[in-house]
Amino acid sequence: MKNTVIIGLFAFGALLTACKPSAEEVNVYSARHYRADEQLFEKFTEATGIRVNVVKANADQLINRLEMEGDMSPADLLMAADAGRLVLAREKGLLQALQSPIIKERVPEHLRDRQGYWTGFTRRARVIAYHKERVNPSELSTYEALAEPVWKGRVLVRSSQAHYNQTLMASIVAALGKEEASAWAGQLVKNMARKPGGNDRDQVKAIVAGEGDVAIINTYYMGLLLNSANEEERAVAREVALFFPNQEERGTHVNVSAIGLTAHAPNAENAQKLVEFLLSEEAQKTIAEVNHEYPVNPTVEWPPLLQSWGRFEMDLLPLDELGKHLETAQMVFHEAGWE
């Protein structure tokens, strides 16, 4: 990378030295690890002259770090692959509002914090992947239907510790209430083909290996498999198709990768410029083409692969409301025995 400096989580002293307030830099704490992001940071630097310094770790580590650093934190932006982590960061007082009309113009209200504390900049739908030969898509309908007896021993899903599943469960709690969500989760656990584990790509591989027939995954993982440098992964992906659940009801659950301005950002002006750049047509196209995520900007055309999966109705529950359901979601997982 020519213009992006990536710093390890524990290189704290060096980071403080490198990240003194400057008109020519912006410091990002990022839980994302994608080539598309590196390309975008380089493009931003080329366009503005502002260098992007990146510290990478998982979202909870970064949130803990912001808490420990307090007003001495060098971080300007917190970036995570799940809206729930930004909701948590706001609740902890780690963010300040972005005052940007561009965000309101380019991001639908339900995909951002409505008071401006964070915004989504990519969308990923959480869908049902199924084996093309062993499952007829007419058998599929909703997330809730996966708890029916016909799916016993056939469902694959990752751990309840995965943020994607926590946010999905929070959306189900919001839609159905805790009692129904708990009943669904308990039955789904009984239908699981194996102990939850691995990432979403591992669920797709397990389908093709015959361990199960359906899996709950994020759409962009299928894109990564179909475009993998590994022919075996591409072959695996070709045996599996995607189904968008709950189309006759509330719509498919959509999460976002989100970004927020930290409470003590030393380079707040540069940080806002980077956020606005990530919402530009150029950046949104790069995210969609390279990382196979949906743009949040509704005016940006989808690339052919995303179009091939079809248009779908998405759950319009505002993602900034999910925070009040995340604790209940954890209780549901625990009571259901969803490890």
User: 214 and 283 share a domain?
Assistant: no
User: 15 and 95 share a domain?
Assistant: yes
CA dist., res. 270 & res. 267, Å (int): 6
Average pLDDT over residues 75-80: 98
Structural domain contains residue 32:
yes
66: tokens are: 């912001």
pLDDT given for residue 19 in this prediction: 44
Structural domain contains residue 293:
yes
User: 114 and 149 share a domain?
Assistant: no
User: 201 and 273 share a domain?
Assistant: no
Give the whole-number percent of the chain exceeding pLDDT 90: 92
The pLDDT of residue 11 is above 50: no
User: Looking at the 3D structure of the chain, how many domains does it have?
Assistant: 2
pLDDT tens column, 243-297: 999 999 999 999 999 999 999 999 999 999 999 999 999 999 999 999 999 999 9
User: 210 and 323 share a domain?
Assistant: yes
User: 210 and 331 share a domain?
Assistant: yes
Confidence of residue 16 (pLDDT cuts 50, 70, 90): very low
Domain hosting 70: range is: 4-123+256-308
C-beta of residue 263 within 8 angstroms of C-beta of residue 93: yes
User: 240 and 160 share a domain?
Assistant: yes
User: 158 and 22 share a domain?
Assistant: no
Confidence of residue 322 (pLDDT cuts 50, 70, 90): confident
pLDDT given for residue 259 in this prediction: 98
Average pLDDT over residues 106-112: 97
Q: What angle do CA 57, 59, 64 make, to 5 degrees?
A: 90
267: tokens are: 């380079």
Sign of CA dihedral 31, 33, 36, 42: positive
Looking at residue 294, which CATH number applies to its domain? 3.40.190.10
Specify the DSSP element, H or E, that contains 242: strand 240-243
Confidence of residue 15 (pLDDT cuts 50, 70, 90): very low
Structural domain contains residue 205:
yes
pLDDT given for residue 17 in this prediction: 38
Confidence of residue 5 (pLDDT cuts 50, 70, 90): low
CA dist., res. 337 & res. 339, Å (int): 6
pLDDT tens column, 187-206: 999 999 999 999 999 999 99
pLDDT given for residue 323 in this prediction: 83
pLDDT tens column, 149-186: 999 999 999 999 999 999 999 999 999 999 999 999 99
The pLDDT of residue 1 is above 80: no
User: 186 and 331 share a domain?
Assistant: yes
C-beta of residue 15 within 8 angstroms of C-beta of residue 74: yes
C-beta of residue 260 within 8 angstroms of C-beta of residue 118: yes
Q: Average model confidence (pLDDT) for the chain?
A: 93
C-beta of residue 83 within 8 angstroms of C-beta of residue 55: no
160: tokens are: 């309840």
337: tokens are: 């025995």
C-beta of residue 178 within 8 angstroms of C-beta of residue 282: no
Half-sphere exposure of 271 (CA within 13 A, CB side): 29
